[in-house]
Structure 1
Amino acid sequence: MDISSEYISIGGNRNPAAAAWDVEGGSFLAFGADNAIALWDPLEESLRGVRLLLNGHKKSVNAVTFFPTGSKDTSIILSGSADHTLRIWRGQMEPVLSFDLVKTITEHQGPITRIATLPGCDIFVTGASDGTVKIWKLLHDASFSELDVQLLQTITLTPKYFPLAVALTSLDASTLLLAVAGTRSIIQIFTSSSTFQDTSPDINFALCATLTGHEGWIRALDFVRESTSQDSDLLLASASQDKYIRLWRVHKGAELPAASSALNDPALGVLGRSSLSNKAHRFETVAGDKYSITFEALLLGHEDWIYTASWRRHASGKLQLLSTSEDNSLAIWEADPDSGVWVCITRLGEISAQKGSTTATGSAGGFWIGLWAPDGRSVVSLGRTGSWRKWTFSAEKDMWEQQVAITGHVREVRGVCWSRDGSYLLSTGSDQTTRLFAEWKHDAHSSWHEFSRPQIHGYDLNCIDSITDSQFISGADEKLLRVFDEPKAVAMLLQNLCGIQRSTTTEELPDAANIPVLGLSNKAIQAVDDNADNQADGTNAEDEGEDATTPDPSATIRKSTLALSHPPLEDHLARHLLWPETEKLYGHGYEISAVATSPDGTLIATACRASSIDHAVIRLYNTKEWLEVKPALKAHSLTVTGLQFSPDGSYLLSVGRDRQWVVWERNQDGAFVLKFSNPKGHSRMILGCSWASSSQGSGLKFPTFLTAGRDKTVKIWQIAEDGEVKLRATVTAKAAVTAVQCNVFAPSGGLVFAYGTDDGEIGIGRADAEKVEDLQVTLVDAKISPARTVNQLAWRPKRQEKNESGTCELAVASDDSSVRIYTVSES
């Protein structure tokens, strides 16, 4: 089997230090995604999204940066994590993109929070929650084929605080300047006491100034030269949770610089004089040069915590500062050429009136990361939902335009399933969202994107299954299941951009859905024409009489809002592309653990977490009247972990934590009764199950099913002619097997299945229909495998327009927050 990665969807970590854009190498943006580092090229025309995930860290990645190599062919990534380790990755752009872990450093005693590098210098700095900042030198040859690290100094921060921001720059030809700030309202400035350009430096940084003025934790620091001249003053930007950005001037010479005219801005009158103190902080380098640091400007405009602030020099020579805030905005600042006052020239993101009501802050949760593109013509930002936003400046329109970026889950992905016809993929997880992914065909390219977020919930979601091509059911920790129908907006979007045709007319469908302000269920809403102001804003009482009522504005949406020519942006996904909820299924007493739909879509089987036989029952519901089919099926004594109907609908297979598998058979009355059970199917709990196809095309003579267990095995069973269930083969894995799925659409027949393990390993098994025991297993390359537990696998149903022989697609849901699609070809 040849296995390649087709698509990866994963959300970014909410940490301001957890992303960096490679200025010198392959134009890739690296960001922390759960325990991994994701690589994405935002400027790529084909919009392929995440190209690679680098697995190695054991806990969440907090800090990512590129080490400046000066080479287009080689990239070095430095990453720090909550697992206390610093890791160094070396990547090659050609012939194929690949990165290897070359060094793991364990000097820090706490989670690493920040990493700072300096172009043209081998020195880099790390800060961690152990209250220290460490100075390192990267030892390498000219081609970076040999790498090592030397620890030069450890600075213990006094008074103790955690460094959340670190910035490094060259003060002059022989001296480095280091700024450190974090969980106190001060900024500490250090200078190096010896030249950093020696072949074997003995650098020692000493504290030379402590800057005060901020009134909250300081989240970002960044240095820049005021002009292109290396003799010009340095400017330091500091951003804080006090909602302000401060600029500081580092000036050479015994004389102080002229006072900034920006301090005369009338808008600063609301602040006390202590906040605007222009006290000069003087220091001297080892070479005897005198310097001063003075307060330069205060940038007002953000309404909440500020997370990032980063400089760039415009092509015109002007300095611009990019900042992101918890107030859902991204701002670009520039100094007014006449007054010198720093003003916000561009504000991107969301305004207060558009804030949603689904989070604790009453908003989308803010922008945590803001980055300039290497060419300065684009910016990207990461929000609370783990999704990236991208804006590119259009010179023709003289404005910043939002463009398609990437999205993904930010917590464990618990369930994944294809629509009945295989046209799109649904996933659901512990970040309390359900997401729909489909393939966009644009120009000469084809790429996968999130096209809808059908469900934004208040509970962790555990399982999902398709009922029809336009209806699905999901189960959550809230003890009930919800059924959702596709709205017209999503149906038209999939039809126009993905070529997905609906078998039924879309006219009968509701236009869209929303969550009422005080409600918990998605309600259908109508779309109105843009010029229908009275319809959207309320009926004119004078025209309609005194009895006229004013409809709820939230129950309508503009048609233009739903008319998209590209995959939806995060703004649309979070608000306008919900699916209306049509049914709720009650009956279970605890969190839903499994759900399965019969092949004909008429029955739904569900189970919940349980510690007794009374709760470990399987409940059946019909999809015509949405009533429970009684009695419930009793056999298990602990949580049922897996349910699946046989391809012909005649059997229902269930497995559980009680180590038992059970086969239920549909009788003449249509009811399911206990047919077979094996209380000792595995030596430990059974975590997954699947039926193989018994159709003519598969060549399998007898009904065949698979079970996967904590005992590190996958077992293949067949119901023989004599009516007994016999074990035909056992596949042994290196770790507990947590998911298994047969491909009932295998192009060449026989038995084809996939299994996933507790450590993220995925295996593809293949056996001849005549001799099931003769198995061949191909393992997916570890570099493209999930980093954590595989929760569910789903083979894509064969579609009429996809007739390539020997090619299948496999979707994988994992605890590492990723949804992956693999292309599997028979070699």
Structure 2
Amino acid sequence: MTATYLSAGANRQTAAADWADDGTLCYGAGRNLAVWRPADEVGVQQLLRGHSDEIKAVQYLGEGLFVSGGDDKNLLLWSIPTEGDEGLCIQTVTDAHSAPINCIAAARSSTDKKKTIFATGAADYTIKIWALMETWELGRIHERPQATIMLLQTIQTKPRFFPLCLALVAVTDTTHGSEPQSWLLAAAGTNNKIQIFAGAKTGSAFSFDLQASLSGHEGWVRSLDFGWEGTPFASDLLLASASQDKYVRLWRIHKGSSAPAPTASATAAAAAVGETDTSLDLSAPASTNTPSNKAHRLQAGPETYSVTFEALLLGHEDWIYSARWTSNGPHQKPRLLTTSADNSLGIWEADEASGIWVTTARLGELSKEKGATTATGSVGGFWAGLWSPNGREVVTLCRTGSWRRWTLASASAEDSNARWVQALGVTGHVAPVTGVSWSRDGAYLLSTSTDQTTRLHAAWTSRTTGGSPSWHEMARPQIHGYDLNCIDSLGGSQFVSGADEKLMRVFHEPKSVARLLEALTGREAPAEEALPDAANMPVLGLSNKAVDVDGGAGGDEAGDGVDTDTLVDVDRPPPEDILARNTLWPETEKLYGHGYEISCLGVSHDGSLVASACRASSLNHAVVRLFETAPQWTEVRPPLPLHTLTVTRLRFSGDDRFLLSVGRDRQWAVFGRAEGSTYTLAQHNGKAHSRMILDCAWAPTVDARRVFATAGRDKTVKVWLSTPDSPLFVLAATVNELEPVTAVDFLWRPTTKTTTPQLVLAVGTESGRLAVLTLDAATLKVSSRQDIGSGALLSGAVLQLAWRPKTADDTADADLAIAGDDGSLRVFRYSEP
């Protein structure tokens, strides 16, 4: 089993990602650590499990080492090689804090390639200082000495607040072994003050002490970052603080007992808020929340530093979540990247002539829907921003969990007129993936999730680089207001989905998406005459409306916000803003009848019937309802009664002669097709498993024998058989697993090594394990078993499995789609052992 596609959205946390010097970007994706190398344009390359709850903070420590923390209160140290080997968790510090860890900051000295000192802040009102050390044992990880982290100091915040952001910097040049070493630590969070700690280490003695408290912000501070104005250790240090008050404040830290002269930016900012006193008083801290030039004195080791207000950056219209410095890139000047909930990011530089800080680039979009996620514009704000190691790329995290990426479109690093151009990012679900379904021709994969979106994924080969195809999200057909629970393809260009509402919705592929898939994947577009141009969702609605781009049926109002021109002559998968705005599918039908939330559905192979069920605790509501798709989309009455609790899965046999249902009441039922679209109960087993049945799957018919499998919480997979001589289904085999089985699906193909037909069954479990079983078609006994490697296990339950439909020109390999409770969607390539 080889992973060909890994998709997972990032956690909406400002500190949950960091970009390493070697180009590796790691971010928290639910409980997984996602490894992404943006320059490769192949998406997420690894999903590493280790945390038991959401990851909130990730920090690069140097030489392929990352540290992460989150809601499980643990600190994990990771070794992520540049290429080749899988990443490994090399140390877990259990209960590093007594509450969720919110932020991590690290400092690199002048001599160490690794950031050997880092700090963590948590909701237990504490900040802890840690050291990264290399052990003296002979054990090696990825050809490097094994590293370990050790606690040095615990700081109780006074007055008590939750640290939401930290910044740590070494201020001593230790190139020639000078002692003592000293650091500055800035901390802020659920108040409007910034606390500055000074730390020093002489020999084995080590301590951080509170030195100053900076006033000025009027809301919670969400981000802090230190950056050198010029040459490290020889120039002043700048501290950027971003707040929910919609402003960024810059603070100057100057070495020496005398404070620097006020800059033009500081004077202008003070005048803007009515602060006219520009005197410098080292002994008196600022006593108001207005920017001022009053200085604070710090003592870090033997050196004295002053902290003065430098500049007030205005321009964002909503909360500012992130502020990051870089001195790499054009002109080697310090530049600041800010991201905000107003759906924009800004790049700031000091004007050479006046020293005033100005915006040199504004990326993203302006939208009237501030801080919201809609299908017609806003992506809900940017929660984090990162610079690439060379300073020529930036990425920003959208509220939808997707990363947007921009690069400087210039061959020369000295080109001051270079433009920022949007490049390929990554996307993914941010909540459990509840359903997956391949299109009937296997050209693309549909996934749906409790994050209230349906996404379309397909393989793409770059025209410029060539190489192997890589999988990406190509469209977002449905953005809903309810959690989505199930999905199935309906014909070549339709699908039906069910959500936490009492109805199902049917969607039809528009011309714009058909042309996009044809251009990027080579899939032949269906006849366009019958397709709508595009779709749009009203701001306060749930139904995607068809749009006539030429101004026909929908008019200008219906087409508001939809720009199909962005999908013309595309050469790469669309970015997040296009996905959310221009790739919706119009809704064509609604199917009513159920009294509670839709739990599962299934579509017949000929596309003529849709079977569905809802959550239920009684016989009246646990019925299976059938709907004809032609000519009128009507319900076939009466519904099919049998189950007494929620039906968990519905599957049609390959020839649609039988409908299989399983449920939480521990029984399965087989309904046989009578006349037309009418089904009647053919057989049921009230005690098929000792606990609830969670999934089922039909095997292709071999020698006129019918086979299906059921998966139960009783840790078994049971295989049932019916033959022409004995039409009733009987238990033919039982496969015992070590934990509850949550998903199964069959693939059939003749083996290339023998002439005996084989049945291939994929099995997923509650803990995220996956196995592929080969059953002998004659005896239905397991002839071989292949377990997925430990490095590719899910960090949550496997919720659904789906083999890709095989065509005549397919190779012996097969693709398996995996929907995970951890919010990940994965496609694995199965090769015969």
What TM-score do you get using the length of structure 2 for normalisation?
0.91
- How far the C-alpha of 1:507 sits from its partner, in A, is 2.5
Instruction: Evaluate the alpha carbon distance shift between residue 361 and residue 472 of structure 1 in structure 2; reply closer, same or farther with a 3 A threshold.
Output: closer
| Corresponding position of 1:728 | 732
| Corresponding position of 2:304 | 290
Instruction: Indicate whether 1:12 and 2:18 are aligned.
Output: no
Instruction: Indicate whether 1:323 and 2:326 are aligned.
Output: no
| Corresponding position of 1:245 | 248
Asked whether the 8 Å contact 1:700–1:750 carries over to 2, the reply is no
Asked whether the 8 Å contact 1:796–1:810 carries over to 2, the reply is yes
- How far the C-alpha of 1:18 sits from its partner, in A, is 0.1
- How far the C-alpha of 1:145 sits from its partner, in A, is 2.5
Asked whether the 8 Å contact 2:600–2:647 carries over to 1, the reply is yes
Q: Secondary structure at the match of 2:791?
A: helix
Q: 1:102 aligns with which of 75, 88, 91?
A: 91
Alpha-carbon distance in 2 for matches of 1:194, 1:522: 62
| Corresponding position of 2:421 | 401
Range moving further from structure 2, 339-348 or 306-315:
306-315
Alpha-carbon distance in 2 for matches of 1:341, 1:823: 55
Asked whether the 8 Å contact 1:356–1:362 carries over to 2, the reply is no
| Corresponding position of 1:442 | 462
Q: Secondary structure at the match of 1:124?
A: strand
Alpha-carbon distance in 1 for matches of 2:376, 2:538: 17
Alpha-carbon distance in 2 for matches of 1:266, 1:211: 16
Q: Secondary structure at the match of 1:175?
A: strand
| Corresponding position of 2:280 | none
Alpha-carbon distance in 2 for matches of 1:217, 1:591: 39
Asked whether the 8 Å contact 1:8–1:51 carries over to 2, the reply is yes
Q: Secondary structure at the match of 1:468?
A: coil
Instruction: Evaluate the alpha carbon distance shift between residue 579 and residue 661 of structure 1 in structure 2; reply closer, same or farther with a 3 A threshold.
Output: same
Instruction: Indicate whether 1:376 and 2:391 are aligned.
Output: yes
Alpha-carbon distance in 2 for matches of 1:188, 1:356: 29
- How far the C-alpha of 1:568 sits from its partner, in A, is 1.0
Q: 1:22 aligns with which of 7, 20, 33?
A: 20
CA deviation digits over 1:292-344, x for unaligned, max 9? 11111111111111111111114423110011111111100000111111111
CA deviation digits over 1:363-404, x for unaligned, max 9? 321100100001111100010001110000112672100011
Alpha-carbon distance in 1 for matches of 2:549, 2:93: 55
Instruction: Indicate whether 1:167 and 2:174 are aligned.
Output: no
- How far the C-alpha of 1:669 sits from its partner, in A, is 4.9
Asked whether the 8 Å contact 1:103–1:148 carries over to 2, the reply is no
Asked whether the 8 Å contact 1:526–1:557 carries over to 2, the reply is no
Alpha-carbon distance in 2 for matches of 1:116, 1:523: 47
Equivalent AA in structure 1 for residue 828 of structure 2: Y
- How far the C-alpha of 1:144 sits from its partner, in A, is 4.4
Q: 1:776 aligns with which of 784, 790, 808?
A: 784
| Corresponding position of 1:680 | 687
Asked whether the 8 Å contact 2:31–2:795 carries over to 1, the reply is yes
- How far the C-alpha of 1:231 sits from its partner, in A, is 2.1
| Corresponding position of 1:647 | 654
| Corresponding position of 1:124 | 118
Equivalent AA in structure 2 for residue 56 of structure 1: G
Matches within 5 A, 1:127-138: 127-138=121-132
Alpha-carbon distance in 2 for matches of 1:270, 1:801: 72
| Corresponding position of 2:34 | 38
- How far the C-alpha of 1:7 sits from its partner, in A, is 0.3
Q: 1:187 aligns with which of 183, 194, 213?
A: 194
| Corresponding position of 2:614 | 608
- How far the C-alpha of 1:800 sits from its partner, in A, is 3.9
Equivalent AA in structure 2 for residue 57 of structure 1: H
Equivalent AA in structure 2 for residue 222 of structure 1: D
Q: 2:320 aligns with which of 292, 300, 306?
A: 306
Q: 2:484 aligns with which of 447, 458, 461?
A: 461
Equivalent AA in structure 2 for residue 398 of structure 1: A
Q: 2:741 aligns with which of 727, 737, 747?
A: 737
Q: Secondary structure at the match of 2:559?
A: helix
Instruction: Evaluate the alpha carbon distance shift between residue 172 and residue 356 of structure 1 in structure 2; reply closer, same or farther with a 3 A threshold.
Output: closer
Alpha-carbon distance in 2 for matches of 1:668, 1:517: 44
Instruction: Indicate whether 1:56 and 2:50 are aligned.
Output: yes
- How far the C-alpha of 1:152 sits from its partner, in A, is 1.0
| Corresponding position of 1:146 | 146
Range moving further from structure 2, 248-257 or 739-748:
739-748
| Corresponding position of 2:534 | 512
Instruction: Evaluate the alpha carbon distance shift between residue 108 and residue 655 of structure 1 in structure 2; reply closer, same or farther with a 3 A threshold.
Output: same
Instruction: Indicate whether 1:527 and 2:531 are aligned.
Output: no
Alpha-carbon distance in 1 for matches of 2:363, 2:675: 63
| Corresponding position of 2:365 | 350
Q: 1:420 aligns with which of 417, 433, 440?
A: 440
| Corresponding position of 1:544 | none
Instruction: Indicate whether 1:492 and 2:492 are aligned.
Output: no
Alpha-carbon distance in 1 for matches of 2:84, 2:474: 32
Instruction: Evaluate the alpha carbon distance shift between residue 11 and residue 337 of structure 1 in structure 2; reply closer, same or farther with a 3 A threshold.
Output: same
| Corresponding position of 2:279 | none
Asked whether the 8 Å contact 1:664–1:672 carries over to 2, the reply is yes
Number of equivalences = 787
Instruction: Indicate whether 1:634 and 2:667 are aligned.
Output: no
Range moving further from structure 2, 434-443 or 97-106:
97-106
Asked whether the 8 Å contact 2:183–2:300 carries over to 1, the reply is no
Asked whether the 8 Å contact 1:693–1:700 carries over to 2, the reply is no
Instruction: Evaluate the alpha carbon distance shift between residue 118 and residue 356 of structure 1 in structure 2; reply closer, same or farther with a 3 A threshold.
Output: closer
Q: 1:693 aligns with which of 697, 700, 707?
A: 700
Equivalent AA in structure 1 for residue 543 of structure 2: S
Alpha-carbon distance in 1 for matches of 2:750, 2:106: 51
Q: Secondary structure at the match of 1:692?
A: strand
Equivalent AA in structure 2 for residue 622 of structure 1: E
- How far the C-alpha of 1:354 sits from its partner, in A, is 7.8
Instruction: Evaluate the alpha carbon distance shift between residue 57 and residue 159 of structure 1 in structure 2; reply closer, same or farther with a 3 A threshold.
Output: same
Range moving further from structure 2, 632-641 or 257-266:
257-266
- How far the C-alpha of 1:241 sits from its partner, in A, is 0.8
Alpha-carbon distance in 2 for matches of 1:676, 1:523: 43
Q: 1:208 aligns with which of 206, 211, 230?
A: 211
- How far the C-alpha of 1:512 sits from its partner, in A, is 0.2
Instruction: Evaluate the alpha carbon distance shift between residue 272 and residue 181 of structure 1 in structure 2; reply closer, same or farther with a 3 A threshold.
Output: same
Range moving further from structure 2, 317-326 or 33-42:
317-326
Matches within 5 A, 1:485-634: 485-502=508-525, 504-528=526-550, 551-552=556-557, 554=559, 557-563=562-568, 564-624=570-630, 625-634=632-641
Equivalent AA in structure 2 for residue 325 of structure 1: S
Equivalent AA in structure 2 for residue 586 of structure 1: Y
| Corresponding position of 2:431 | 411
Asked whether the 8 Å contact 1:175–1:285 carries over to 2, the reply is yes
Equivalent AA in structure 1 for residue 300 of structure 2: T
Asked whether the 8 Å contact 2:254–2:260 carries over to 1, the reply is yes
- How far the C-alpha of 1:726 sits from its partner, in A, is 1.5
Asked whether the 8 Å contact 2:238–2:250 carries over to 1, the reply is yes
Alpha-carbon distance in 1 for matches of 2:694, 2:555: 53
- How far the C-alpha of 1:785 sits from its partner, in A, is 2.1
Range moving further from structure 2, 668-677 or 255-264:
668-677
Alpha-carbon distance in 2 for matches of 1:330, 1:556: 21
| Corresponding position of 1:235 | 238
- How far the C-alpha of 1:149 sits from its partner, in A, is 2.3
Q: Secondary structure at the match of 1:404?
A: strand
CA deviation digits over 1:154-210, x for unaligned, max 9? 000000001111111122242111111111111111111433xx4xx3211111111
Instruction: Indicate whether 1:474 and 2:510 are aligned.
Output: no
Asked whether the 8 Å contact 2:563–2:582 carries over to 1, the reply is no
- How far the C-alpha of 1:124 sits from its partner, in A, is 1.2
Instruction: Evaluate the alpha carbon distance shift between residue 270 and residue 179 of structure 1 in structure 2; reply closer, same or farther with a 3 A threshold.
Output: closer
Q: Secondary structure at the match of 1:352?
A: coil
Alpha-carbon distance in 2 for matches of 1:37, 1:221: 23
Q: Secondary structure at the match of 2:50?
A: coil
Equivalent AA in structure 2 for residue 31 of structure 1: Y
- How far the C-alpha of 1:67 sits from its partner, in A, is 0.9
- How far the C-alpha of 1:279 sits from its partner, in A, is 1.5
Asked whether the 8 Å contact 1:31–1:39 carries over to 2, the reply is yes
- How far the C-alpha of 1:351 sits from its partner, in A, is 1.0
